[in-house]
A and B are shown apart, each in its own frame.
Chain A
Amino acid sequence: MALMYPFHVAQPPLNWSEHLWVSEVSPAKESFITTICEHRQAQWDNQDLLRHLQDSVAILTREDQRHVNAVHAAANMPANP
């Protein structure tokens, strides 16, 4: 029988860009990335400035930090009456 109509069918309209493999860069993520880039740039600049020193010398430990603070506090103390 020729005068009958065929069964048209569509392919499932699956999305080509699901969130599983296409990640969206939201404004919050963009600000975070920019901040990370700035921090990294600052760290590189500091490392460039201190390139002639060893890491063990340039990086201050906690005890050294406390010592520097003590010296700074002593310098700000008024003179003895």
Chain B
Amino acid sequence: MQKAAPRPIIKRSYLNLDAIFGHVFSNLTGEPVTPTKIATFYLLRILFQTHFGFRHKRAYYKPFSPAEKERIFHWLYALMTSVVELSYKDFRIVTRLAFDDGREVCKNFYAAMEKIGAGMADVTLNVEDEFYTNKHPKDPKLPANDTVHEAMDLARGDIIQFSSNHSFMYRWMKRLLAQYTKSTPSEVFQINAAMKSWVLSAVESKYHPEFKGEYLPHFIDCSVRARDWVAKSIYFIQKNPRFAFQYNEMLHYTRIVQKRHPDVVEGFLLEAIVQVQLKDSSSAIKAMKSFFELSMFELNENMVHAAKTHRLAVPTQTPLMYAPILQARICRIFGDYQMARLLLHESLQQAQLRNDEICHQMANIEMHTVDILGCRALLEDNNEKTAKHIENERRVQRKALLHIDDLHGHTRSGPCCLSSEEDFELVAEMDSYGKMLMLMKIIAEGNYKLIYDRVAETGITCPVGNDLGERGRKVAAYGAALISSNMIHNGMYHQAKCAAENMLANNCRTDETDPFQAPFQAEPWAIGAVNLSYSQAGVGNYDAALRTIEEMRQNYPEELSWQSNRHVVICAAVINFERFLLKNDYKACASEVLNLAAHSELECKLRQALLLAAAGKERASVEVLEGLNVVDIRGRIRIHMQTGCIYTASQEFRKAAREFADALSLAENTTLKDIVPMVKRRQATMLMCHGQYVECLKLLKECNEGIEQFGSFTEKACYYMTAARCHRLLGKDPRMWLKKSRALVRNGQWPAFTKLVLSEIAALHDVKGLMPDENRLSQICEQFGKLTADCPGRCEWLLI
């Protein structure tokens, strides 16, 4: 028969990304080949041969029983996961302790090692096929169809598989083999020389062939552990920076990872995050660009394709969509809003072109954050009015979030949400933040209607059943911080105290030894502590507020988390200003106000104007307030109220009445609960100073409930003083109000106000007063003298 000619094979050639970029992903796995690991590999192979035999020959001894195997694997796992290099002497001690059970394991191990030490054999890191198949091959001396093979198989039916393909031991061995196969002949020679030297010496080896002699710490000496360390560092920076390395150390190790492990591209992401914490925006942007530049090729997820072509690198479109988002986030954090908006527009276009719901939603969240919050620590209705983004692309399956009502009717669709649970969780998290950003916008405009009831509280504190990546805890904490801030915003100090205490109590540690169970030390929890401090100061408990501030200073230092620390700085300045003002310490007040200048012009100027008025410079104070250009509705109301108070103190009642009327007309358009009673209280105080006592009492009756419910400590004090004086001047009994005033300041928070109350009581018990009482009057004068010695100066309650 004539044989046909062989058919030609047409081979298709296409771009090999692995070859172009130097086989970066080949470095993805692999353990450093060190003498200790080589010895462990030899020990593993000898144990397998002791258990199984060698090729077609059965083992002389019985196979390992499950109990023996458990003990053997325990020792092998200890050797494989050891972070230190052992010397040959120590390794022999371990081997004798662990494996000397009469099966000649130690003898075979010593023979193999001594051969290498004497130069009679080279290091051979290979494994027979039987390690994978756990089946004996047929005896090559016998014919293939001989019936002895079946008899041999039946005779040793009790054979036990040595190890599973899914065990760590198997993966460790494959890592070592992968690294060994990548070694060049010169590296193989160095490995043999190092192994020989290790056997002949009595010390551990410092040999690391692929690192050019540099000794690396264990957690970054191979790509697998470096990637794990980077992931843990990113996790702890975001959750609790105390459990991460110091930032300078992380930068140092990150640069080592970037240099030694080109496949661990997450090192650049970690560098960007650390630079954000170190306030270096240009370095953070550069590192983020490097990360997404190196992320253009990702690991081949198609295992069939990779098994056929052996190609691990495939192109990916991820950097086109998410690189602008992360760079825009860095620009937003450091105040570069224009660049952030440009980048987010680019990302939104990419999301629309690719019909990617997650990218679209994430870019929208970032865009709203730029517009509503920016990089500020305080929520104010800012001056920047940006054009609304009208999305007319028909390919977008959901429209951009512009109002709170846009959330209704949102249906999650598209393959990206149905394919994986993590995608679903991410979209749910984005929806939550989007909703809360819409709430912040309404709150800043002053039109948010408070609906605080038990159902809302239950929903907020409902525990999350399956919290992937702790998203539920972060969303709940963000919502709790928002709620407590809004309570402070509306004068609900007791409710804010309960909400903040609940939030901080839930942030507890369940396991002292596990760093992954550590409490959160992030910005929402800092705000919870800040609002707790405000709620304590709002009811006059300044000692508790100071203790909370001191605890915050320890938990959120500047060098660990500057974004959380600025809240602590603002809170300390605000409360200390209030404390020093009530003690007539105007010099300390002036120094505290300077801490607010970097964060909020409105908060700083309001307090500076108050200090100027207290020093007697009413004209300069009014000029400072008139110079403020504020769009925030609450800020404008506060400016009107402050200006009216200054006019009241300087006896200009007509101007004060106009300011209070303007404030009242602005306040009635908002839903803020504490503003209208406060404006009316100030109107009443002005009327009292003007001599119109009947109208004053009428106004006091109108705002009594509001002041009692939403007024702060100082507000109630001024209310009681106005009521007491007005009652006395009208010839009525003011003792109820005087009693309330004295009870309010009994802890000595406001000594000047205590003196004011004493002077009122003295006027009441004077010989020409309503209730003359000479003994009572002398007691009052004695107390007044004692207080004057401690706190000179008069009470500036008209300015508050």
Binding site for B on A (CB under 8 A): 1-25, 27-41, 43, 55-57, 59, 61, 63-64, 67, 76
Q: How far is the CA of A14 from the CA of B470 in the complex (A)?
A: 12
**Among A6, A18, A23, A32, which residue has its beta carbon within 8 angstroms of that of B426?**
A18
Question: Do A8 and B570 touch across chains, with their CB atoms under 8 A apart?
Answer: yes
Cross-chain contact A3 with B800 (CB below 8 angstroms)? yes
Find out whether the CB atom of A14 lies under 8 angstroms from the CB atom of B433: yes
| Chain A residues in 8 Å Cβ range of B712 | 3-4
B433, A21: Cβ atoms closer than 8 Å = no
Bound CA–CA A31/B527 (angstroms): 45
Known: A22-B266, A25-B224. A13 touches B231 (CB 8 A): no
Give the complex CA separation of A63 and B9 in angstroms: 13
Contact between chains at A9 and B377 (CB < 8 Å): yes
* Beta-carbon contact of B377 and A36 below 8 Å: no
Contact between B4 and A63, CB atoms less than 8 A apart: yes
- Given A16-B269, A22-B269, A56-B8, decide whether A10 and B478 contact each other with a Cβ distance below 8 A: yes
Contact B534 A38 (CB under 8 A): no
A-B contact pairs, 20 of them (CB 8 A): A3-B800, A7-B380, A8-B379, A8-B485, A8-B570, A9-B482, A13-B238, A13-B523, A13-B524, A15-B469, A18-B426, A24-B231, A33-B25, A34-B177, A34-B178, A39-B307, A56-B6, A56-B8, A61-B9, A63-B4
Q: A14 to nearest B CB, angstroms?
A: 7
Name the contact of A34 in the complex, choosing from B166, B174, B319, B365 (C-beta under 8 A). B174
B474 adjacent to A13 (CB under 8 Å): yes
| CB within 8 Å for A15 and B143 given contacts A8-B377, A9-B378, A31-B165 | no
Residue of chain B at shortest CB distance from A19: B422
Q: Are A6 and B178 in contact (CB under 8 A)?
A: no
Report whether B224 and A76 are in contact in the complex, using a CB–CB cutoff of 8 Å. Answer: no
A81 to B662, CA, bound (A): 124
B47 within 8 A of A: no
Contacts A7-B379, A9-B377, A14-B433: A33 and B312 contacting too (C-beta < 8 A)?
Answer: yes
With A13-B474, A19-B422 already in contact, the answer to whether A2 and B310 are too (CB < 8 A) is no
- Establish whether residues B224 and A5, one from each chain, have CB atoms under 8 Å apart when the complex forms: no
Separation of A8 and B380 alpha carbons in the complex (Å): 10
Residues of B within 8 A of A32 (CB): 303, 306
Flag whether B641 is at the interface (Cβ < 8 A): yes
Distance from B144 Cβ to chain A, minimum over Cβ atoms (Å): 7
B366 to chain A: which residues have CB within 8 Å? 14
The answer to whether A23 touches B299, judged by C-beta atoms less than 8 angstroms apart, is yes
A55-B322 contact given A1-B606, A1-B678, A2-B607, CB 8 Å threshold: no
Q: What is the bound-complex CA distance between A29 and B641, given in angstroms?
A: 66
A residues less than 8 Å from B178 (CB atoms): 34, 37-38
B440 to chain A, nearest CB (A): 6
Q: What 0/1 readout, one digit per residue, does chain B (633-667) give for beta carbons within 8 Å of chain A?
A: 00000100110010000000000000000000000
Interface residues on chain B, number (Cβ under 8 Å): 113
Of all chain B residues, the one with the shortest Cβ separation from A34 is B174
Given contacts A4-B638, A36-B306, A56-B6, contact A11 B369 (CB under 8 A): yes
Q: List residues of chain B with CB within 8 A of the CB of A21.
A: 292, 295, 318-319, 322, 326
- Would A9 and B373 be within 8 Å (CB), given that A3-B712, A16-B238, A17-B231 are in contact? yes
B310 near A33: Cβ-Cβ < 8 Å? no
- Contact in complex: B312, A8 (CB < 8 Å): no
Using CB atoms, name the residue of chain B closest to A16: B273
- Which residues does chain B contribute within 8 Å of A4, judged by CB atoms? 638, 712
Instruction: Decide: B318 and A20 in contact? CB cutoff 8 A.
Output: yes
Q: How many Å lie between the Cα of A56 and that of B9 in the bound state?
A: 6
Q: Which residue of A lies closest to B165 (CB)?
A: A31
Closest to A67 in B: B3
Q: Which of B11, B224, B310, B365 makes the CB contact (< 8 A) with A39?
A: B310
Most buried by B among A3, A11, A34, A39: A3
CA distance A48 to B181 in the complex (A): 15
| A28 to B273 CA separation, bound complex (whole angstroms) | 29
Provide the residues of chain B in CB contact with A61, threshold 8 Å: 6-7, 9
B567 at the interface (CB under 8 A from A): yes
Instruction: Evaluate contact between A6 and B378: CB separation under 8 angstroms.
Output: yes
Pick the contact of B522: A13, A25, A56 (CB < 8 A). A13
